[in-house]
Amino acid sequence: MIDYIFKNCYCFILYFILIAYLTIFGITIFYHGDLEKMVTLMDDEQKLVYKMIRKERLQHYLNGLGAGVVLSLPTLYFIKNKTSKVCASGIVLMMTAAIVYYLQPKTTFMIKHLKSQEQKEAWMIVSRNFIKKKMAGVLLGLVLYTGLSIMRN
């Protein structure tokens, strides 16, 4: 199994990242009560700020995807093995999207606009839950890929 993982290292990394992203997205679709509670605690001005922040962050992510597409194209040309080519391009795409997202300057952060202690505590719950979703995605990615590798051998 270990031999299989190392022979297909590019694909292991890509599958791992994809499963993590999909898990985070899936959990957020089905469990977003923490975000709903947070929004109910906001006044109208805070809701506008929150909407602006979400729009800005989406734009940052789309910028990252665009940069990832541009940077992954040479990988498709230079790598000859078809499987490695697709997997390496996927890694470049996903990693570039994440790096660009985190490096782009943010105009503001929601925590700066929260007024009450109850709002701040609700925001901390949202933040902690997002970290838990990331951890669940990483663990699921690792377990699924390892399981599939064992079944394949």
Q: What is the pLDDT of residues 75-133, one digit of tens each?
A: 888 888 777 778 888 888 888 998 999 999 999 999 999 999 999 999 999 989 888 88
Q: How far apart are CA 13 and CA 93, in angstroms?
A: 12
pLDDT one-digit tens code per residue, 7-26 = 566 677 777 777 777 777 77
Q: Is the dihedral of CA 64, 65, 66, 67 positive or negative?
A: positive
Q: What is the pLDDT of residue 3?
A: 54
* Confidence bin at 1 (pLDDT 50/70/90): very low
Q: Quick check: pTM over 0.85? A: no
What is the DSSP code (8-state) at residue 153?
-
